[in-house]
Copies of this chain bind each other. A is one copy, B any other.
Amino acid sequence: MARTQGSRAEITGPLVRDAARRLFARHGYAAVSMRQIAAEVGVQVGTLYSYTADKQALLADLLRVHMEELLAAWRDDPARPALDRLEAFLRFHIQTSLERPEAVFLSYMELRNLTPENRAEIAALRRRYEDALEAILIAGEAEGTMAVPDTRLATMALIAMLTGVTNWYREGGRLDQERVVAVYRELVRGAVGA
């Protein structure tokens, strides 16, 4: 498995990140060793340290990049009806969760294995994502098209519900993605009193 010499820097970097993401998601950050990651990539342990300062930075980078991509990809239009925005958010969240289940899973499971500094940074990004949903609920209340007892709590509840998809969804399983979106749309619309 272990190659002998030969430089492939352009591809090794992404491979390290991919392997780490996959293994961290499957077994948990603390349970995965740098040796396992190296083996998955097909490289020796020492080589990993050309691509990351240490194991902690590897995790923090995965989470940071994922959250930044998430925030950059989310497009909201405050001028539209809140219910439409809610459906768009739901579709966006589920689609992301099914396209990149490992990154999504990691981002809410491994916060506690970050150093305090890294945790604060990632938590702030996540907070911005939660705020994007809460803004929609607040707008819906103002419009009179939604009725939620507590927008903050409802936000947390809805995100927990949507993120749960990563726990049970299996590619090629009973339900395809459009069907999942349809079911969640009904649940979410009901929950916000539409």
Contact = CB atoms under 8 A, between A and B. Distances in A.
A27 B112 CA distance: 7
Contacts of A113: 27-28, 31
A59 to B, nearest CB: 12
Contacts of A193: 186, 190
Interface of A is mostly: helix
Interface residues of A, number: 36
A163 interface: yes
A109 B29 CA distance: 13
A188 B188 CA distance: 10
Given A157-B161, A190-B190, A112 B184 contact: no
A58 to B, nearest CB: 15
Interface stretch (A35-43, A63-71, A79-87, A147-155): A147-155
A45 interface: no
Nearest to A189: B190
Contacts of A188: 191
A115 to B, nearest CB: 13
Contact of A175 (B153, B157, B184, B187): B153
Interface in A151-189: 153-154, 156-161, 163-164, 167-168, 175, 180, 182-184, 186-188
Interface of A: 26-31, 109, 112-113, 148-150, 153-154, 156-161, 163-164, 167-168, 175, 180, 182-184, 186-188, 190-193
20 contacts: A26-B112, A28-B29, A28-B113, A29-B30, A31-B113, A149-B186, A150-B175, A150-B183, A156-B164, A156-B168, A157-B183, A157-B187, A159-B164, A160-B160, A160-B164, A161-B161, A161-B164, A187-B191, A190-B190, A190-B191
